[in-house]
């Protein structure tokens, strides 16, 4: 298969592309959702000995979602730098240690989004967190013990992956 043509079908907060794909002697039309590149991190507070998660309204779920801290990578920004920025914006913490645990396409059947997932350790809350007012974020900080994290029923894929990583590595 080879993409032979790309058109922008929608260019708003997110982008939607119309692709023409050559498959042997057939040409197929496919839409591809292009939200961008994202980062996410399961954050461990080494002082409180608790995981720090967020609860915020997510338009895809049309509900408040309990999830690991996450956000979009700005143009030219490295994933780790973006994650450190998001942890400060959402949780108010400075990062002591960070390691990448996964890089993934959460839904490659129709989306070009990638998410780099990290594990981060923090100990110093230097800001208030809660997200940025100019981005209309209203983020609640939620703390969980290891036992609470593992027993929680998450609906968010990146959070499920990070929780499974904890069960395997921590």
Go through 45-59 and write b for each residue having 16 or more CB atoms within 10 A of its CB, e for each that does not.
beeeebbbbbebeee
Confirm if 141 and 54 have CB atoms less than 8 A apart: yes
Asked if residue 134 belongs to a known ligand binding site, the reply is no
Asked if residue 137 belongs to a known ligand binding site, the reply is yes
Q: What are the DSSP calls for 68-86, one per residue?
A: -EEEEPPTT--HHHHHHHH
Q: From edge to edge, which strands make up the β-sheet containing 15-23?
A: 2-11, 15-23, 26-34
Contacts of 164 (CB under 8 A, 6+ apart): none
Place of tokens 């609640």: 140
The whole-angstrom separation of Cα 64 and Cα 56 is: 5
Q: Known catalytic residues?
A: 135
| Cα distances (angstroms) measured from residue 110 to each of 17, 32, 51 | 10, 5, 32
Q: Which residues are annotated as a binding site?
A: 70, 86, 90, 137
Q: Which residues are annotated as a binding site for Mg(2+)?
A: 70, 86, 90, 137
């Amino acid at each position: 298969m080879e993409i032979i043509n790309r058109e922008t079908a929608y260019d708003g907060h997110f982008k939607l592309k119309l692709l023409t794909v050559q498959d042997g002697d057939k040409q197929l039309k496919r839409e591809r959702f292009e939200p961008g590149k994202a980062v996410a991190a399961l954050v461990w507070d080494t002082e409180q000995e608790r995981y720090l998660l967020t609860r915020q309204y997510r338009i895809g779920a049309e509900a408040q979602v309990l999830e690991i801290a996450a956000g979009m990578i700005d143009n030219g920004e490295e994933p780790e730098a973006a994650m450190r920025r998001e942890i400060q914006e959402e949780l108010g913490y400075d990062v002591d240690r960070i390691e990448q645990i996964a890089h993934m396409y959460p839904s490659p059947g129709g989306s070009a989004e990638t998410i780099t997932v990290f594990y981060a350790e923090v100990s110093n809350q230097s800001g208030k967190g809660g997200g940025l007012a100019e981005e209309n974020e209203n983020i609640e900080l939620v703390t969980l013990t290891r036992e609470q994290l593992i027993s929680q029923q998450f609906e968010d894929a990146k959070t499920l992956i990070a929780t499974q990583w904890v069960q395997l590595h921590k």
